[in-house]
A and B are shown apart, each in its own frame.
Chain A
Amino acid sequence: AQSVTQPDIHITVSEGASLELRCNYSYGATPYLFWYVQSPGQGLQLLLKYFSGDTLVQGIKGFEAEFKRSQSSFNLRKPSVHWSDAAEYFCAASSGNTPLVFGKGTRLSVIA
């Protein structure tokens, strides 16, 4: 079955430190891949997406993600975290004609 796994439920990083959030997918072929962010009481905002081509994609708010076919991964990164980045992050995938499947999310806390 198609699935998306985010192994880390909760991550805490210091402000200014680098960040990597993990995402693995299980699909027959390379799916479309997305990262969304959800701030408390807010809807989901798209950070970035991968459809094809360059495996390193840039998104909003200084985020980037790298698609690695060999590892079935699409990890989200940011070089320097800001306190405002504290939120819930969701990785999602779709084969293009099937419902978008979400991981269970990773909650990011940022400490001073």
Chain B
Amino acid sequence: GAGVSQSPSNKVTEKGKDVELRCDPISGHTALYWYRQSLGQGLEFLIYFQGNSAPDKSGLPSDRFSAERTGGSVSTLTIQRTQQEDSAVYLCASSPATWGNTIYFGEGSWLTVV
């Protein structure tokens, strides 16, 4: 597609359940990023994939969070045993190469944990 595509756009889940958020980056972009945006906060870096390199997981807030990227394209962010503090907008972005390049964001997946 023309832009970064994320699904679902909205997700309401019960506390303790697992959720999966999907990101389809711009075709040809080798770098993929996940950020979290909480109410009143800026964007918090979560994880970064670049080509076949090991991902930079330094921003993941706990071991309940994980992400994978299959075939160098689509990525899935998984949150296990969701907590209310996980409620946020999860933004995916992609870029042609590394951090020095402009990154393009999707519209986000709004997660609400009740």
Contact = CB atoms under 8 A, between A and B. Distances in A.
A77 interface: no
Interface string B71-114: 00000000000000000000101000011101111111000000
B41 interface: yes
Contact of A46 (B35, B45, B59, B102): B102
Given A90-B42, A90-B43, A102-B43, A97 B104 contact: no
A36 B4 CA distance: 16
A43 B98 contact: no
A96 B98 contact: yes
B100 A94 contact: yes
A51 interface: yes
B56 interface: yes
12 contacts: A32-B100, A34-B102, A36-B105, A41-B107, A43-B107, A44-B93, A44-B105, A94-B99, A96-B98, A96-B99, A97-B98, A98-B99
Interface of A: 4, 32, 34, 36, 41-46, 49, 51, 90, 92, 94-105
